[in-house]
Amino acid sequence: MSMSTGLFPTYLKLSKIYQNSSESTSEKRCFFILKCSSFLIFCNMMKSHSKISIFTFLLTIGFFYTQAQVVGKKNGVSLNYGISSSIYTNQSIGVPGVEGYAHNFGLHYNRYFSMGLSFETGVRYSQNSMDVSGINEEGNRFEYNGKSSFIHVPILVEYEFLTYLFAQLGPTVSIQLNNDIRNESNNEVMEMNQSGVGIWGAFGAKFGIKNYELRVYPYYHAQSLIPFGSDDTNYTLKNAGGNVSFAYKF
């Protein structure tokens, strides 16, 4: 019997093990891929006797084994760091423009439910810098610069798909801690209320080894779409940038 003829009954045997396993769906899927991939590469290795095939076989086993270690460990805590552009309203032409930058740090907790869905919340600190000048609608020149800082509490729904990808979406509650953005013409602090409820969206990739997971993702955050208070000082700050997080899964 040729090697290719013997593949089919072996595949059926692995499928039966996969279906009858008492492990969770995600665990069964990961181990099934490991078994089938390893078996097929091993057959090719035996047929070709190639050193490259042997290396590929060992590399595949190692890769899927490390991924299998993290399967089932869905809940986790993570440290986050991000950098972004701060998007304010360009008063010269009345449209949004990139007028600053921001850094943020956070500690998040992620709780897995089922079918790739999880809930994430935590606390995030951000500091935004602003440096903009121009001519406003009245024809007067303006020049503002300075910094403002915030505490954010995200309430996010996350969906994982294709093993390594995920997307996040949900509201955030932002509290302005301080505001030191000044008008350069008179050195007065601008009255800006940037506290309120906003929205967060992100899409990225994750890589796990045993109990640890690294995530890299771009994000968009529009804060204070629903401001706390109702006066002329309400201001919506938007950030678009990238974020890196390191998580411990359990």
Whether 167 is covered by a domain: the verdict is yes
CA–CA dist 193, 241 (Å, integer): 23
* Angle at the Cα of 28 from the Cα atoms of 111 and 53, rounded to 5 degrees: 115
**pLDDT given for residue 33 in this prediction:** 52
Identify the sign of the CA torsion 18, 71, 243, 237: positive
**pLDDT given for residue 131 in this prediction:** 76
User: Of 37, 70, 103, which marks where a domain is finished?
Assistant: 70
Is the domain of 144 the same as that of 229?
yes
**pLDDT given for residue 92 in this prediction:** 55
CA–CA dist 143, 134 (Å, integer): 7
Whether 235 is covered by a domain: the verdict is yes
Q: How far is CA 62 from CA 23, 56, 123, in A?
A: 21, 10, 36
Is the domain of 115 the same as that of 32?
no
**Phi, psi of 30, rounded to the nearest 5 degrees:** -65, -45
pTM for the whole structure:
0.68
**pLDDT given for residue 126 in this prediction:** 96
* Tally of domains within the chain: 2
Domain that holds residue 199: 76-249
Is the domain of 162 the same as that of 104?
yes
* Strands, E assignment, 180-236: 182-183, 188-189, 196-209, 212-227
CA–CA dist 86, 240 (Å, integer): 7
CA–CA dist 173, 195 (Å, integer): 8
Please answer whether residues 142 and 91 qualify as being in contact, where contact means their C-beta atoms are separated by less than 8 angstroms: yes
Mean pLDDT by 10 residues, the chain (250 residues): 48 51 50 52 53 54 48 82 82 55 96 94 94 71 83 97 95 93 77 90 94 96 88 82 96
